[in-house]
Amino acid sequence: MSLRTLMIINTVIAGVFGVAFVLIPWQVLVIYGIQPTAALNYIGELFGAALLSLAILSWSAKDMAESEGLQAIVRALFLGDTIGFVLALFGQISGVLNNAGWSVVIIYLFLAIGFGSKYFKKKAAEK
pLDDT values of the chain reduced to their tens digit, one per residue, 127 residues: 999 999 999 999 999 999 999 999 999 999 999 999 999 999 999 999 999 999 999 999 999 999 999 999 999 999 999 999 999 999 999 999 999 999 999 999 999 999 999 999 876 777 6
- Domain of residue 33, residue span: 3-126
Number of other residues whose CB lies within 10 A of the CB of residue 2: 9
**pTM of the complete model:** 0.91
Domain count for the chain? 1
CA end-to-end span of the chain: 23
